[in-house]
Amino acid sequence: KLVIGKFCMIASGVTFIMNGANHLTDAISTYPFAVFGKGWEHAMDGKAYPNKGDTIIGNDVWIGYNASIMAGVTIGDGAIIATKSVVTKDVEPYTIVGGNPAREIKKRFPDDTIQRLLKLKWWDWNIEKITRNLQHLTNSNLDILEEHN
């Protein structure tokens, strides 16, 4: 299944490749014979297509135009996925990735700040508290945000 967190921005053209798109990689052919019937419906008897698990998109994640997210990937809270990236592996929280395959470009913040943000979990606040803190959420001074909360 696909699980998407709160306050995510997903641009147009983003594709989530789910487990149904998987194919055998250790067989002579990758062709999905069984889906066409006509005597081929038993082609997969005793076999199973690979299942890479759920695709999890954290909270406050930005996914750029035409990015592709492969099955079973977890994208951490606060991550940014660059335009036209192909995400084949998990992305750490507050990390910017890009390319094909997507690779880390940089962390958005130092590790200690990332830990503070993950502990704060502002996306779980009620809407009134978020509204009261909009000015703090849209700047880079985490100290002030923590002082007010």
Is the bond leading into 50 cis (omega within 30 degrees of zero)? Answer: no
Catalytic residues: 23
Contact 104, 117 (CB under 8 A): no
Residues 143, 76, 136, CA angle at the centre, nearest 5°? 25
Could you give the CA distance from residue 102 to residue 110 in angstroms, rounded to a whole number? 21
State residue 56 phi and psi, 5-degree precision. Answer: -120, 125
Backbone CA torsion sign across 59, 62, 66, 70: negative
